[in-house]
Structure 1
Amino acid sequence: MTELQLVFVSVVVFALMVAITIYARRKSPDVLWVGMALSVFCGPVGQLYLRRKAALWMVFVLILTMGAAALLPPGNIAFLAQMVISPAVMFYRMKA
């Protein structure tokens, strides 16, 4: 796969994650399991599910994920850290 194709696929996947998150926010707002599922499968983009300062929280989760990936051993740790940190932040936001 060429670099241009990889960029195109990445943009399409990101757009799909944003669209799914916004659709879920409209159809079933403030449901804990929906927010947690979006956080697991969409990572920091799942933070857009809640309207309260969503972009700020999305950046916060992304920074936490990168920080955790830098502290942990090499490998595909960023994805694993994202699957733990993002739902934890979503749970905090929904319960606070």
Structure 2
Amino acid sequence: MLTEKEITEVANKFIREIEEEAKMELLILQKHIIKKPYGIIYFYTSKKYYETKDDKYAVAGNAPFLVEKETGNIVEFGTGASEEYYILEYEAGRWPIK
């Protein structure tokens, strides 16, 4: 089982990988973090969008993701429904779709 610090390290590493691919600086939205007994759910956006709120800096496909406490696995949610939908689907064992 991972500590909160270890979970945060996994999340930061995941964001850095996305940054390299997208070639833009990203940041985790600290105010939107959701802590659950099974892990932590993170939301992120581009730093430029966060600072300016200018849509030209918005990130497409920046789905929230969960870092599982037991395994450190990352579970990416979608963007087509609310985060509540994906959380409920995960908790019911229906997400990710296998």
TM-score (norm 1): 0.33
Relative CO higher for 1 or 2, CA cutoff 8 Å, sep ≥ 6? 1
Higher helix share: 1
